[in-house]
């Protein structure tokens, strides 16, 4: 295969040379995971390749509107794979995040190609294109398509828009660059229906999301002199309201957007006796949440990271808040 740090040209060549390809992204997929998966799969199919797109958790209701969403299957629904496929893992920093069933499906793969933008990427494949400067994996897929002079299909266009719009927090997060806007502009020129897209993405939530928010607001905790804001989601609450994992996508931004907050944290009690931590930082120089979450067995980006930790809601949140407080103290600011 190619050099350890292959160019997009080399990545494109590897994809073109593969007789068949399986593309997957991380469990509990977000807009970037699904958008890049569908966009790359559709582009390669347009080029005549045999492509299977999978996600262990399938496509959540929130993203069912994505063009060709139904082309992403759960691994169990894939009956047969032709030969030894090239396996492409998108937007996924560690092998565990793909899920066991995906690895089982690609047991006879010829090689693993990783395309990602997480700084914490563990380089678990044979060939890696990891660019942590990129605000979204979708932006890397666009660069690949442009570099290779491949056609931009309407499906790829719309899915790349969703990938970039969601992972940049509607083009607001610091990783958003002039290049991001240049690509967004090209996607709009190519025909993205912006108002339809915005309604589908941000103005079409189920009522239970608001019911959840009402409850979460009652659990808000501020610590470290208002520099940390957090809330907790108990199993009981999740069951009572019938909350789906994607129902609270982005709600944590409400905590992050409070004046003076450096770290926002959300704690979610899981059915398996673990607590899922989501953390956001407003200032990477004061609190790098990827680093803090790594100490808890997780990972992510400097400003957005997470972990899954064994323990009760109370014990895990106490430990995590203590670690964040220490990090903020360490910085020397009161």
Per DSSP, 281 falls in state E
Instruction: Lay out the sheet containing 221-223: strands in order across.
Output: 221-223, 228-233, 263-269, 274-281, 304-310, 299-300
**Does 167 participate in binding Mn ion (rule CB under 5 A)?**
yes
Q: Pick from 149, 144, 137: which is nearest to 7 by CA?
A: 144
| Residue-wise DSSP of 214-258 | HHHHTT-EEETTTTEEEEEE-HHHHHHHT--GGGGTTTTHHHHTS
The residue number whose beta carbon is nearest to Mn ion equals: 32
Nearest approach, Cβ of 134 to Mn ion (angstroms)? 9
Of the two residues 75 and 169, which places its CB atom closer to Mn ion in the complex? 169
Nearest approach, Cβ of 118 to Mn ion (angstroms)? 7
**Does 249 participate in binding Mn ion (rule CB under 5 A)?**
no
Nearest approach, Cβ of 296 to Mn ion (angstroms)? 20
Q: How far apart are CA 252 and CA 306, in angstroms?
A: 12
Site mask for Mn ion (CB under 5 A), range 132-151, x = bound: -----x--------------
Site mask for Mn ion (CB under 5 A), range 188-227, x = bound: ----------------------------------------
Nearest approach, Cβ of 28 to Mn ion (angstroms)? 12
Element of type H or E holding 20 = strand 20-25
How many chain residues touch Mn ion (CB under 5 A)? 4
Let me know how long the chain is: 334
Nearest approach, Cβ of 205 to Mn ion (angstroms)? 21
Q: How far is CA 246 from CA 24, 30, 128, 168, 170, in A?
A: 18, 8, 28, 17, 17
Nearest approach, Cβ of 145 to Mn ion (angstroms)? 17
**Does 42 participate in binding Mn ion (rule CB under 5 A)?**
no
Q: Pick from 76, 107, 136: which is nearest to 301 by CA?
A: 136
Cβ neighbours around 272 below 10 Å, total? 7
The single residue among 32, 42, 158, 247 that binds Mn ion, judged by CB under 5 A, is: 32
Nearest approach, Cβ of 167 to Mn ion (angstroms)? 5
**Which of positions 61-120 make contact with Mn ion (CB under 5 A)?**
91
Binding region for Mn ion (CB under 5 A) out of 30-38, 62-70, 211-219, 302-310 = 30-38
Binding region for Mn ion (CB under 5 A) out of 82-90, 119-127, 159-167, 198-206 = 159-167
Report the interface residues with Mn ion, using CB under 5 A.
Answer: 32, 91, 137, 167
């Amino acid at each position: 295969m190619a050099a350890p740090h292959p160019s997009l040209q080399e990545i494109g060549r590897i994809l073109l040379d593969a007789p068949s390809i399986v593309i997957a992204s991380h469990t509990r997929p977000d807009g970037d995971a699904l958008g890049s998966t569908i966009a790359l799969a559709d582009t390669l199919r347009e080029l005549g390749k045999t492509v299977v797109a999978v996600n262990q958790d399938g496509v959540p209701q929130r993203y069912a509107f994505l063009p060709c969403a139904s082309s992403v299957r759960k691994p169990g629904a894939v009956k047969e794979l032709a030969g030894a496929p090239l396996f492409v893992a998108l937007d996924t920093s560690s092998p565990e995040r793909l899920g066991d069933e995906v690895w089982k499906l690609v047991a006879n793969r010829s090689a693993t190609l990783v395309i990602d933008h997480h700084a914490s990427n563990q380089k678990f494949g044979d060939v890696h294109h990891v660019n942590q400067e990129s605000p979204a994996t979708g932006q890397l897929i666009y660069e690949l398509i442009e570099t290779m002079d491949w056609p931009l299909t309407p499906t790829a266009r719309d899915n790349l828009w969703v990938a970039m719009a969601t992972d940049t927090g509607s083009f607001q997060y610091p990783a958003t660059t002039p290049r991001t806007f240049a690509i967004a502009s090209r996607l709009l020129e190519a025909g993205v229906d912006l108002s339809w897209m915005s309604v589908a993405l941000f103005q079409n939530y189920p009522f239970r999301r608001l019911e959840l928010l009402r409850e979460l607001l009652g659990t808000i905790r501020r610590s470290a002199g208002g520099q940390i804001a957090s809330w907790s989601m108990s199993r009981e609450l999740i069951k009572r309201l019938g909350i789906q994992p994607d129902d609270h996508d982005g709600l944590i931004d409400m905590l992050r957007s409070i004046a003076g907050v450096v770290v926002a944290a959300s704690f979610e009690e899981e059915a398996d006796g673990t607590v899922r931590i989501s953390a956001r930082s407003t200032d990477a120089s004061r609190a790098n949440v990827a680093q803090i979450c790594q100490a808890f067995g997780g990972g992510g980006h400097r400003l957005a990271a997470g972990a899954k930790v064994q323990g009760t809601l109370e014990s895990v949140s106490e430990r995590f808040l203590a670690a964040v407080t220490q990090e903020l103290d360490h910085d020397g600011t009161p």
